[in-house]
Amino acid sequence: ALEKKVAQVGEEVILPCCHQLPSSENLYNYRVYWQKNITEVVLAYAEGKMLPQHEQYKNRTKMDTRNLTLWISPVEILDNGTYQCVVQRKHSQNSVVVCDESVTLFVTADFSKPNITAEVSANSCESTEMVVRCSSHGGFPKPKMSGALNNVSVVWNVSWVSESNFSPYNVTGTLWLNVTKDVSVTCSVEYNGFAKSTSLLLKKTNVCVVPTVPPSYNVITASSIIIIIFLLAVTLAARYLPRHVCSHCCKPQDSAEEGVKECKKSPVSSKVSSETSSV
């Protein structure tokens, strides 16, 4: 199995070689090649002299002349990949390969702490519809995003943005939620064994809007009939009540004085007294 190393951008990393020079020998008797992707010479020595190297590694690499380890500092995202250490020893007129092994370097760049935002898209008495977004940026390699609602796993709809395979990534995840009660949402960004997480409490809004329902046709018809019946009843009452009350009144006369005279009746007792007197 290939040996693996993990390093952060900006740090120093040491890649081990598969051979160590005996104390009785020196670099002059060896050829040492540190190369990446076979074609890129990271650092190389032949007969004690350093050979030309790839431009990307100039002034950032050095090699221990005894254990042949490769030092890279500061580490860059482009350093991510597999490195090969090849050691040859001079033997008469030929060279013999005494070591040829590889080591894989995983470069990481820290992502920002995930940021969670929630936007209310619709409200009702029963629930609140929300669009929840989680975003993080500036990290490497391409991350995974996971999440949970009250410790129950959810799947984010994730998108990534990067200029190339060896550039920092920006990642955004989206959730569409129907919140019926307060719930805690967690967003985690994972990369090369590292992880960063953030949680946010989503609250169901207390606004409850009950939609106004227009009255049905039957209700309108019944209400109209009731109003009409009420108006007819009021009209009939207005006409009947005055006649009923005045049936006990005197017949109207041409003048107030005559009416008073005609309506004035002598009491029965007076008439009886008069007749008695004449006898």
Q: Is residue 52 part of a domain?
A: yes
- Domain residues for 149? 112-202
pLDDT of residue 244: 53
Q: Which of 100, 133, 103, 99 has the alpha carbon at shortest distance from 5?
A: 103
pLDDT of residue 272: 38
Question: What confidence score (pLDDT) does residue 126 get?
Answer: 77
Counting as low any pLDDT under 50, the low residues of the chain are: 251-279
Q: Tell me: the pLDDT tens digits for 178-208? A: 888 899 999 999 998 899 999 999 987 765 6
pLDDT per residue as tens digits for the range 231-269: 777 777 777 665 555 555 554 444 444 444 444 444 444
Separation CA 69–CA 235 (nearest Å): 114
Query: Do 89 and 9 sit in the same domain of this protein?
Result: yes
Residue 70 in domain? yes
pLDDT at residue 42, rounded to an integer: 96
- Final residue belonging to a domain, choices 108, 136, 170: 108
**Cβ pair 167, 141 in contact under 8 A:** no
- State the pLDDT at residue 241: 64
- By three-state DSSP, how is residue 26 classified? coil
Which tokens is 28 given? 């002059």
Query: What is the pLDDT, as a whole number, of residue 228?
Result: 82
Six-digit token string for 57: 């590694």
Instruction: Quote the pLDDT of residue 212.
Output: 63
Provide the CATH number for the domain around residue 152.
Answer: 2.60.40.10
Output the six-digit token pair for 129: 């519809």
Tell me whether residue 226 is in a domain.
no
89 with 24, same domain: the answer is: yes
Radius of gyration of the chain (CA): 52
The last residue of a domain, from among 179, 202, 225: 202
Our count of domains for the chain comes to: 2
